Amino acid sequence: MTEIPPARTPEEVRRVLAEQIGSGRLRPGQRLGAERALAAELGVSRATLRQALAVLADGGVVRRVPGRGGGTFVAKGKIERDLSRIVGVPALLRSQGVVAGTRVLSARLAEADDVTAQALRARPGELVIDLVRIRLADGSPFSLEHARFPARRFPGLLELPLGGSVYELIEEHFGAEPAEAVERIEVILASADEAAILDIEPGAPLMAITRTTADTDGEPIEFSRDLFRADRTRIVVRTEGGASAPSPAGAASWNCTPRRRCDRGGTGGRTAPP
């Protein structure tokens, strides 16, 4: 740790810590240490250190975990989700050097509600495969997925291993290739249950993505609502020229397809899961 003279301001302490993180001397996921020891090492009071850490936490540079075994940790880098491509989460994570994992919370047959039936062009009450999973990035929760697939189209899907990419399964076993998706993105606040599942604080921001995916014939094969941790995710839209434009971190919604058609919607609030 770089030594600095006593009586530094919170802003100067913030810059020192930010430089340590930016240079790689403090690695993503690394614990900064106890406040008392860290303040002594930096030559400042604990009050000054806390002000600096609060600014870093607000900027997403560090993550403060309360309780026993908690502390202040260097935040992990954000994972880019490219709206111009249809790709499963495991492939998305692997492409960015992140170890992918999955926990299947439930996998069952269920009756389609009105919203699901409309998205899948099915009759209300028609059977769908209802799949809820937690996606892990380097061992920590990254997203909560709730996907539905037409059961008549994919008989036996529930008997296959569902810990990887369902897109790969339905292409390999049923010859259905995901070709186009329409997605609506909103920024919402995590409920208590969602926060517990994703290991974040209640009220933390989430990116809620409601998606309808169609095959090469234009037939819907998936309707899902995924919740991504906003502190781990960056949404990117590729333009025709190949440039990328990160989405704003506000409560705006976008209607996009991988064919680069995007219409920005109005301000998004919290919506009930479909």
> What's the pLDDT at 234?
77
196-213: b (≥16 Cβ within 10 Å) or e: ebbebeeeebbbbbbbbb
pLDDT of residue 222: 97
Considering only residues 162 and 254, tell me which one the structure prediction assigns the higher pLDDT.
162
Read off the pLDDT of residues 88-129 as tens digits, 9 standing for 90 and up: 777 777 777 677 889 999 999 999 999 999 999 999 999 999
Q: How confident is the model at residue 253 (pLDDT cuts 50, 70, 90)?
A: very low
Residue 69's pLDDT is what? 64
Please report the pLDDT score of residue 263 as a whole number: 39
- Quote the pLDDT of residue 166: 93
Give the pLDDT mean for 235-264: 45
In this predicted structure, the answer to whether residue 80 has a pLDDT above a threshold of 70 is yes
Q: Give this prediction's pTM.
A: 0.64
- pLDDT at residue 240 tops 70: no
Q: What would the CATH number be for the domain defined by 10-74? A: 1.10.10.10
For the segment 1-43, what is each residue's pLDDT rounded down to a tens digit?
Answer: 444 445 478 888 888 888 887 777 887 778 887 888 888 888 8
Angle at CA of residue 207, ends 122 and 124, nearest 5°: 15
pLDDT per position as a tens digit, 172-220? 999 999 999 898 999 999 999 999 999 888 999 999 999 999 999 999 9
Q: Which residue has the higher pLDDT, 245 or 50?
A: 50
In this chain, the answer to whether the domains covering 10-74 and 79-267 adopt an identical fold is: no
- Position 170 scores a pLDDT of 95
Q: SS3 letters for 43-63?
A: CCCHHHHHHHHHHHHHCCCEE
Q: Are 256 and 268 in contact (CB under 8 A)?
A: no
Q: Between 3.40.1410.10, 2.60.40.10, 2.40.50.140, 3.40.50.720, what CATH number should domain 79-267 receive? A: 3.40.1410.10
Domain residue limits, the chain:
10-74, 79-267
- Where are any strands of DSSP class E within the chain? 62-65, 71-74, 79-82, 100-111, 127-137, 140-150, 180-189, 205-214, 220-229, 233-238, 244-246, 252-257, 261-267
Q: Which two tokens stand for residue 12?
A: 């100067």
